[in-house]
Amino acid sequence: MLRAMNDPALSIDRILLLPPPAGENEHVVVNRPLHRIMAFAGYSIDDIVDDPIARHTIYGYYKLYREVRRTYEIIDLERQWNNG
């Protein structure tokens, strides 16, 4: 849970991380793009280490993933800047 805290003397906005209240579960989302890409392509880590074709295939998918992610980040930033 996040709580914003303003300190007018320092003119700094701080965010404090509070532990979740008792009885509530905290969910953590782990982002592992290489694991998802390997599962999509059907390769294991051993395949990637041993097979140069598999390594280049996964690397190509990873570059595509980074490009798509960056494109969506740019679109989101442009939306924020243009208020639309």
Are the C-beta atoms of 52 and 24 separated by less than 8 Å? no
- Residues 3-32: tens digit of each pLDDT: 445 455 544 455 666 666 777 777 777 788
How much is the pLDDT for 40?
93
Token output for 13: 């906005």
Count structural domains, the chain: 1
**Of 14-23, 38-47, 53-62, which range is least confident?**
14-23
- What's the mean pLDDT in 54-80? 94
Mean pLDDT of 23-48: 88
> What is the 3-state secondary structure of the chain?
CEEEEEECCCCEEEEEECCCCCCCCCCCCCCCHHHHHHHHHCCCHHHHHHCHHHHHHHHHHHHHHHHHHHHHHHHHHHHHHCCC
Domain boundaries, position 25: 2-81
